[in-house]
């Protein structure tokens, strides 16, 4: 059984002069997580944000913070992002020499561990560790910049990943997709097997981001009969179960 889906707006495309206000609106509209892209100018050709932004957001929202580390040597910064308030930490298989060790370090902090795969990276790269993760993030664009178009070949990769998880009896591992998610393709991506849908410019590049969140969730509603249609967990108890004993210290 595929778990209920989550829409995760990527704040990389947000208006940072009004970030707190935009986050409040997205939360009310039904966003499930906030996706935070961390880039270092080495692993990807761009520099974005760090633990300071995560810490500021933690004070302003109760939504889980999904921190995507597009950085070289992510082990050096796990403690910093956990202390800042991350609830999910995703690292790239391409950036980790000892991936199992990195995932173990993340989970030792009682946060969810994710692994991301660039478009050229095969699913075989995670076959030996997939049981150790909470999220597999399929990059449907080449990482480093927002506003890119969805790579069509990603759709088959999503289907194959969902099949791998089903065959191994790992329904609790979420399938995330990041890159080029728009209102006109989100339902197809969900149908392929994704249950964490990351969208940046597809939300923030529209005239009314909160309205777009609602429209995206409506598009996905019929793709997953187990969700209540608003992209959130069915109850606070279900959210607490997924995140185990973590207590969210954000805004009321």
Active site residues: 37, 178
> Are the C-beta atoms of 63 and 34 separated by less than 8 Å?
yes
Return d(Cα 244, Cα 238) in angstroms, integer.
10
């Amino acid at each position: 059984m595929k778990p209920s889906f989550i829409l995760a707006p990527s704040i990389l495309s947000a208006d940072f002069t009004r970030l707190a206000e935009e986050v409040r609106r997205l939360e009310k509209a039904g966003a499930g997580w906030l996706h935070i892209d961390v880039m270092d100018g080495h692993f990807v050709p761009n520099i974005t944000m760090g633990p300071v932004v995560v810490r500021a957001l933690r004070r302003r929202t109760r939504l889980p913070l999904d921190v995507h580390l597009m950085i070289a040597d992510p082990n050096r910064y796990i403690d910093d992002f956990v202390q800042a308030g991350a609830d999910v930490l995703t690292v790239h298989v391409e950036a980790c020499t000892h991936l199992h060790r990195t995932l173990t370090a993340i989970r030792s902090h009682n946060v969810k561990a994710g692994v991301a795969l660039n478009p050229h990276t095969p699913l075989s790269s995670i076959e030996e560790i997939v049981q150790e993760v909470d999220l597999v993030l399929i990059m449907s664009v080449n990482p480093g910049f927002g506003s890119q178009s969805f790579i069509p070949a990603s759709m088959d990769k999503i289907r194959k990943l969902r099949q791998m998880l089903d065959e191994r009896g790992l329904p609790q591992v979420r399938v995330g997709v990041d890159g080029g998610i728009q209102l006109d393709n989100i339902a197809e991506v969900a149908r392929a097997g994704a249950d964490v849908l990351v969208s940046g410019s597809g939300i923030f590049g529209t005239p009314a981001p909160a309205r777009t969140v609602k429209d995206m969730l409506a598009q996905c509603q019929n793709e997953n009969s187990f969700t209540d249609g608003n992209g959130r967990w069915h109850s606070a108890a279900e959210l607490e179960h997924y995140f185990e004993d973590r207590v969210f210290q954000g805004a009321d």
